[in-house]
Amino acid sequence: MYKKQLEEYFAAHQQEMIDDICALMRIPSDRQEPKEGMPFGEGPAKALEKAMEIGQRMGMKVTDYDHYVATFDINDGPRGLDILAHLDIVPVGDDWTVTKPFEPKIVDGKLYGRGSADDKGPAMAGLWAAKAVKDLGIPLSKNCRVILGTDEESGSSDIKHYYAIEEEAPATFSPDADFPVINVEKGSYSSHFVAAWEEDRALPRILSVDGGFRGNVVPDKATAVMEGIALNEVKAICDAYNKECNVQFTAEEKDGTIVVSAAGQAAHAAMPEGGANAVTAMLELLSKMPMAPSAGFEKLCGVSRIFPHGDWAGEAAGVKMSDDISGPLTISFTIFKYDGKSLDGVFDSRCSLCATNENMRDVLIEKFGAYGIELTKKEMRPGHHVPAESPFVQTLLRCYEDYTGKEGRCIAIGGGTYTHNLKNGVAFGCADLEVDNHMHGADEFAVIDQLVMSAKIFAQVIIEMCK
């Protein structure tokens, strides 16, 4: 054990680590239009360049993989461990209250700002852990490589690019979730669904519906426009439905139409119970409106029947399931657009290990097909499981227990991390399960003590895996 040395090291260097995290947080690095040498746009490229600058200052061997990914090596030995994190972020809204999204601010021991918890804070905890082991001169026979990518939030094409060039390390962890150890990641079946029909102008009718902005985020806003119905009638239905759900509706008259807005609570699609879905609530509200019969309204109501508000277990869709290893399936309706003659939606499901094409995909295809709606994706993504008794997982649990004094255990999640497709990859830190970091939402934060503790744990893991 090198606990005393690591405690002293991070006591002396804590502020430097926080400064590096803040330098990255000031860069808006959500995915943007690609440019030459910037596969995911200017923001992710700038974040990667800043990280490489930090790594070079630390004395790491830094390698740039076409601006998709950068790696940071402690030494030239054979790789014993990879730490895999990301520098891209999800987009921000205008509802932040503690600070602006890209202006890091520390309040009561919490570092607020986009990326503090997901995943710039944890990424720097991993890089500083490697630096600590290097600076302390701890003897290693193997190399630890920190890998920082720039497209985790939008499909992980960065890592596909990297692993087309490099082989996996014998063991990999990603500090992009919770402690203790996440050794099970559910599979997924997430798809667009589409339909088109002849426009019907009979009144009253719905002209448009628009809600959601990202496939893996429970939407907090939705808007609908309708005509041929009185404002007071719409308000009465909104007021009645407000009492049934945790989404707030407002209605106003504008240019001869009625505009209804829904305000809910955003959340990660892997944890839909933490949000209030504005899209499912909007469609349920609209299905209560006295609209003229039409093909479009029938399909809209059909979507609402498949995804009723508050049903993230997939019961109405006919896909509710669970198993002892991975737990229950969740499904989130995340994006919807409707214009009176077509609709386009997206759902995001996190499937139990027991889910198959037959009991998941085929059931949903049939459900949507009954309303003349087509699903565009035809294959599921399988789940991921590293046995709890493996030496790697047991090492992670032991290091966690030694530094926190808490009991280590393995848990399953619905979110997919960078390690989902790696044979011996798990998620390990940095968040505490008991702390809501507002990840993917407004006022995202990381607890500074937790980040520092994570860096110490990661350093001990590097020592154990590479000694």
pLDDT at res. 81: 98
* Distance in angstroms (rounded) separating the CA atoms of residues 448 and 22: 12
User: Is pLDDT above 90 for 434?
Assistant: no
Q: How far apart are CA 85 and CA 105, in angstroms?
A: 22
Same domain (yes/no): 229, 347: yes
- 457 shares its domain with 442: yes
The pair of structure tokens assigned to 461 is 């893991």
Q: Return the closest-CA partner of residue 99 out of 119, 85, 88, 115.
A: 115
Does residue 405 register a pLDDT over 90?
Answer: yes
Task: Show the domain range for 148.
Answer: 3-186+383-466
Residue ending a domain, among 313, 342, 375, is 375
For 151-171, the pLDDT digits (tens) are 999 989 999 999 999 999 999
Residue 417 has pLDDT above 90, yes or no: no
- What is the DSSP code (8-state) at residue 360? I
79-84 average pLDDT score: 98
pLDDT digits (tens, 9 = 90+) for 317-341: 999 999 999 999 999 999 999 999 9
Q: What's the distance, Cα to Cα, between the start and end of the chain in Å?
A: 11
Q: Are residues 247 and 181 in the same domain?
A: no
Mean pLDDT in residue range 287-304: 97
Average pLDDT over residues 103-122: 98
Domain count, the chain: 2
pLDDT average, residue stretch 67-86: 98
pLDDT of 155 reads 87
Give the pLDDT confidence score for residue 243 in this predicted structure. Answer: 82
Examine the domain organization and report whether 255 and 403 are in the same domain.
no
Work out the pLDDT band at 377, boundaries 50, 70, 90: confident
**Other C-beta atoms lying within 10 Å of the C-beta of residue 164:** 9
Residues 63 and 118 placed together within one structural domain of the fold: yes
304 and 158 inside one domain: no
Which residue among the candidates 152, 153, 176, 444 is catalytic per the annotation?
152
Q: Which of 133, 163, 135, 170 is nearest to 147 (CA)?
A: 163
395 shares a domain with 335? no
Active-site annotation holder among 82, 88, 119, 444: 88
Does one domain contain both 362 and 421?
Answer: no
Domain holding 173: CATH number? 3.40.630.10
Neighbours of 321 (CB within 10 A): 18
pLDDT of amino acid 335: 98
- 155 with 259, same domain? no
Across the range 48-76, mean pLDDT stands at 98
Average pLDDT over residues 389-399: 97
Of 375, 396, 428, the one marking the end of a domain is 375
pLDDT beyond 90 at 440 = no
CATH of residue 219: 3.30.70.360
pLDDT at residue 415 above 80?
A: no
Q: What pLDDT, on a 0 to 100 scale, did the predictor assign at position 416?
A: 77
Please give the pLDDT value at position 278.
98
- Per-residue confidence band for 378, with pLDDT thresholds at 50, 70 and 90: confident
Q: 3-class SS at 32?
A: coil
> What pLDDT sits at residue 131?
98
Q: Kindly write down the DSSP assignment for every residue of 270-339, as one continuous string.
A: TSGGGSB-HHHHHHHHHHTS-PPP-HHHHHHHHHHHHS-TT--S-TTTT---EETTTEE-EEEEEEEEE-
Based on the fold, state whether residues 159 and 275 are members of the same structural domain. no
Cα three-residue angle 26-30-31, rounded to 5 degrees: 145
Which of these three, 332, 347, 375, is where a domain ends?
Answer: 375
Query: Ramachandran region of residue 151, left (φ > 0), alpha (ψ -120 to 50) or beta?
Result: alpha
- Say yes or no: 179 and 30 in one domain: yes
Task: Write out the two tokens for 217.
Answer: 């985020």
Whole-angstrom distance, CA of residue 92 vs CA of residue 128: 27
Q: Are residues 169 and 209 in the same domain?
A: no
pLDDT averaged over every residue in the chain: 96
Average pLDDT for residues 402-430, to the nearest whole number?
92
Q: How many CB atoms lie within 10 A of CB 215?
A: 17
> Rounded CA gap, 447 and 110, in Å?
4
| % of the chain at pLDDT higher than 90 | 91
Q: Residue 195: is its pLDDT beyond 90? A: yes
- 88 catalytic, yes or no? yes
Provide mean pLDDT across the span 264-269: 92
Q: Is the pLDDT of residue 144 over 90?
A: yes
